[in-house]
Each structure stands twice: as C-alpha cells, then as structure tokens.
Chains A and B, each alone.
Chain A
Amino acid sequence: MSQKTEQSDHANQVVEHFFRHEYSKVIAGLTGKYGVVHIDLIEDAVQEALIKAMGSWPFNEVPKNPSGWIYQVARNHLLDTLKRDSKMESSRETEQMTSASDEIVMTDLPSDIEIQDEELRMMFVCCHPSLSIEYQIVLTLKWLCGFSNAEIASALLKKEDAVAKALTRGKAKLKTAEDAMHIPLGKDLEQRLAVMLKILYLLFNEGYSASQGAALIKQDLCFESIRLGSILLQNKHCNIAPLYALLALMCFQASRFNARINAGGEFVTLENQNRLLWDQRLIAKGNAYLAKASETEVITDYHAQAGIAYYHCSAATFEETRWASILGLYDLQAQITPSPVAALNRIVAFAKVHGAQKGLKELAKIEKEKKLQQYYLFYAIKGELLRNAGDLPKAASVLKEAIKLTQNETEKTFLKKKLETLFDSK
C-alpha cells in the first residue's frame, strides 16, 4: 500500500463534512431542548465539543458513536455553564436551572429522527418572519450549514464584520420573539415554507454563480442547499410539490459543476462543456424529483426552471437541445412570475428557435427595463445575437459594455475572449 492511500484511509475514518453536519445537528438538538435564548452558550458548547473531538480522537480511536459523543460533550459543557451562571444569579431562575442540571447524569441521547425534527424546526426558526432575508440567510448558514463567519463572508462575498453584525442582530431578534421556536400551522406554515424554499433557492444561486477563488466553498453552498431541501422532504407537511421542483432544479444545475470550469480555471459555456463530465447520478436524482413535482395541479416558478434545466441536462449534445420546449417553459415562467431577468433568459431560447434577427426584435421590447440597463448579461446576450446576425461592429461595442459592467473576473475573461475572437469567426 502506498503512503498516500494509507494516509487518506486514516483521515477517512470520519466521513466528509461530518463536523459541519454534526454542528448543525447538535445546535438544533440543544436549541430545541433549551431554547434559542441560550443560543450563544449553545454555540460555544458545540464549538468546544468539536475542539475536544479534534484534539483527542487522533490519539485514541474514533468513538463508536461519534455523533452521540459530540452531543454528550456539548450538552455537558452547556449544562455546566448554565449551572455556573445560575449560581451567580438568584431565586426562581436558579431553581429552574438546578432541575436542568440534574439531567447531566442522564445519558439518553436524542434519536436520529428527533434530531432531524429539531433540524427542521431550526430551519423554521431561521426563517422567522421577524428576520430580514439577509438575517435569514446568514443564520441558516451558521446554524444549519455549520459555516464560520469567515466562510459565510467568503460564500456571500461579504465582509466578515458585516456577517458578524447580521448574526448578532438576527439572534437578538429571535431571542425576543416569543414564538421563535414554534412551528407554524396552516396558512402560516405555507407562508413560512415558501420563505424557506426561497432561502434555499437564493443560497443555491449564490453558490452557483460563477466565481473565482472561493470556488470550493461556493460549491459547498449548493450541496448544503440540496441537503437542507432533503431534510424538508422527510416531513409530511413540508414535502410539497414546489420543494420537489426546487430540488430537481438544484440537482440538474449541480450536475454540471465539473464541466463548468476548465483546467485553467476558466468558465466554460453550456455549448462548449464536455457533457461526459456531467454527474449522471445527480441528473437521475433530478429526474426523480421532477417526476414527483409533476404530481400536482399547481405549477410554480420552480417547476418552470426545473423543466428548463431538465431539457438542458437531457440533451446529448448542444445541437440536440430542445429549444422549442425550453422556450415554452420560459413563456410559462413569464406568466407565473414575470421578471425582466427571466424575460432576458427567454430571449436566448427564442433566438435559438426563431433566429437571431427575430431575437433582436424581441430583445428591443424589453430594452427599456431599468433592471436590465446595468446588467452585463443583457449586453452579453445582445452581443451574441448581433454576432449571429452578422453585425460585428455593433456586437463589439455591446460586448465592451458587458465587460465594463461585470464585476466577476471569470466572466470578464470569458467576455474578453469572445470580443477578441469576434472578427475571426466569420
């Protein structure tokens, strides 16, 4: 056996992302039991337990029940702190705490199903209506994905102290919300679920947007969104058709990760991707989710997007892409949730079906949209259509505009290359 495989064998005694997912589970388990008012102490306790595991497991064996080990150590740490704190306080609070600390001797651990329920509840907590979308996202990343402030900052392209501030404020809001830990019912549940799906969608998109440098953490973001979606799926009140559609969409998109960036770190368009690199396992998953999503009368935006992604994933070559079907889904999406960006993406499919000239005419209809005037993709698409229509000088000036507007270096390089080769192509 070579040294290399030997090494990875030992490191693999603990499954990939185990600590990150344990963090989420134990945070959820302890918060479910002791309440979000103690969240700061709970965070410390879980961090402490993981540090202990990290320091002692290599010297010994990995415990037979590593999850239980971490839970137990974290809970003991939490109860010790609560007990110590309560000694400094007085009267009734102390009584309550003493009864809590009696549980130190108890060794009962929550079952996997109980922990899963608590994680689900934690997802509801993170989407509490008192929180802004920004707070909802950072709290989800912190508590349910086990990201550190630095990792959240790098995944969301924010400053670390901005993340810390959002976390502090979000936590403060939850601590004062009386119903923070309640799982809503009926209409409220529906609304909260819709928010949750939106958060997962935004997290995924944040991770999916092409970027350099932090590529790995971004990819993690996408797989975490899928994981959280799968947790929701386990609950009979939450496994609604839009969730299946969202999961299908995420699986289809994630299947192309390995093909999107070439060996030189450059962005590869759908047209030029090596389709053999697409992850067929994820595509199969996406197909299964999409089938479940279709068992409904109500068609959502997620359905339309998942359908579009499906047609891309099921085309053996770029030339075989079923553009007419894709265009139909864009039309559907425009009916469900009209948006300038969706309308813009629709033009790409429209031009594939009806040609670049007609595409340009269609584009002219939405040209006045404020949102699109500063959007690099609008100019990138316009440039491409002009090129295909044979108007190279105009295409060049529009592409320059696109390059000026994009912040993303990977995209910039890609567009520059396109501009350079513009006059070679014909």
Chain B
Amino acid sequence: MTNYMYLFRGGQNTSTLSPEEMQAHMGKWMSWMGGLKEKGQLIDGLPLAGEGKTVTQEVVTDGPYTEGKEVVGGYLIVNASTLDEASEIANGCPIIAEGGSVEVREILAMPEPVEN
C-alpha cells in the first residue's frame, strides 16, 4: 500500500452560508472523511488557514494566491493501492460537487533496507 496526498483547492464560498447551511456542508465532509477513517484509509490531514506568505529569493509576499480557487484549503494523507484507486476515492470528496478540485499525489517513501 502507498500513501497519497490530497490537496484541496477551491470549493464553496462558505463566508455567506447560514448556520444551517454550514452544518449541512460540514455533515458532507464528516460523512466522507468518517467513511475513510472507518476503512482505515485515512492516515492524516488538517485544514489550512486562508492567509499565508510566499518566500522567494527576492521578497516575502502575503497571500500567494491570486484567485480563490487556487487556495489550498487543506490536505489529507490517504492510503491506497494505486494512483487510480486514490483518485477514485478523491472523487467522492464533497469539494468536487462544489466546483473545487483535489490534487492527488503519491508520497514517495524511502526504499526499505533489504535484510539478508
């Protein structure tokens, strides 16, 4: 099994949602992540704050993102057997229906030392 990183971009603009709508939104994410947890596929993950800094050789800038849909809102590490399976799992994420995207990347592991 291999670990994959999911990067969540964009999705619903949540700032104007009513409390009731927020709860419904959260419920969808809880269902999806709860399902992953139950199947032992969820390794780790956290949301990310909207603000940030970008550091380059010349300058440090605030908020590197020009558009809302570019913002990475959080990440997950998920266990799957192939990239295809990992993408399939990501396809169930509520962010897809909200117009956002999930970038799926394999996390490269150090080669295991071979004992003999």
- Seen from chain A, the residues whose Cβ lies within 8 Å of a Cβ on chain B are 3, 6-11, 13-14, 17-20, 22-23, 47, 50-51, 53-59, 146-148, 150-151, 220
Contact = CB atoms under 8 A, between A and B. Distances in A.
A20 B35 contact: no
B14 A19 contact: no
A22 B20 CA distance: 10
A53 B26 contact: yes
A14 B33 contact: no
B50 to A, nearest CB: 10
B18 interface: yes
A148 B21 contact: yes
5 contacts: A3-B35, A10-B35, A54-B17, A58-B26, A146-B19
Nearest to A17: B20
Contacts of B25: 54
A13 B32 CA distance: 13
Q: Which 10 A-B pairs have the closest CB atoms?
A: A10-B34, A148-B18, A11-B27, A58-B29, A19-B19, A7-B31, A19-B23, A54-B26, A23-B19, A146-B19
A339 to B, nearest CB: 35
Contacts of B26: 14, 19, 53-54, 57-58
B47 interface: yes
Contacts of A53: 22, 26
A154 to B, nearest CB: 11
A11 B38 contact: no
A230 to B, nearest CB: 19
A147 B21 CA distance: 10
Given A17-B20, A51-B15, A148-B17, A59 B28 contact: no
B83 interface: no
A88 B16 CA distance: 28
Nearest to B23: A19
Contacts of B73: 55
B43 interface: no
Given A7-B35, A13-B30, A51-B14, A59 B46 contact: yes
Contacts of A14: 23, 26-27, 30
A59 B45 contact: yes
B35 A55 contact: no
Nearest to A147: B18
Given A6-B31, A19-B20, A51-B17, 12 more contacts: A6-B38, A10-B33, A10-B34, A13-B34, A14-B30, A19-B19, A50-B22, A54-B23, A59-B46, A147-B18, A148-B16, A148-B21
A237 B26 CA distance: 39
A151 B16 CA distance: 12
B73 to A, nearest CB: 7
Given A58-B29, A59-B46, A146-B18, A17 B23 contact: yes
A8 B14 CA distance: 22
Given A10-B31, A11-B28, A54-B25, A22 B46 contact: no
B18 A56 contact: no
A18 B19 CA distance: 9
Given A14-B27, A148-B16, A54 B34 contact: no
Interface in B66-84: 73-74, 76
Nearest to A46: B19
A56 B74 CA distance: 9
A53 to B, nearest CB: 7
Residue from A14, A18, A59, A151 with most neighbouring chain B CB atoms (10 Å): A59
B20 A146 contact: yes
Contact of A11 (B14, B31, B47): B31
Contacts of B35: 3, 6-7, 10
Contacts of A6: 31, 34-35, 38
Contact of A59 (B22, B33, B38): B33
Contact of B14 (A3, A17, A54, A146): A54
Contact of A19 (B22, B28, B31): B22
A402 to B, nearest CB: 36
A147 B19 CA distance: 7
A150 B32 CA distance: 28
Residue from A19, A22, A54, A56 with most neighbouring chain B CB atoms (10 Å): A54
Contact of B22 (A3, A10, A51): A51
Contacts of B17: 51, 54, 148
Contacts of B20: 17, 19-20, 146-148, 151, 220
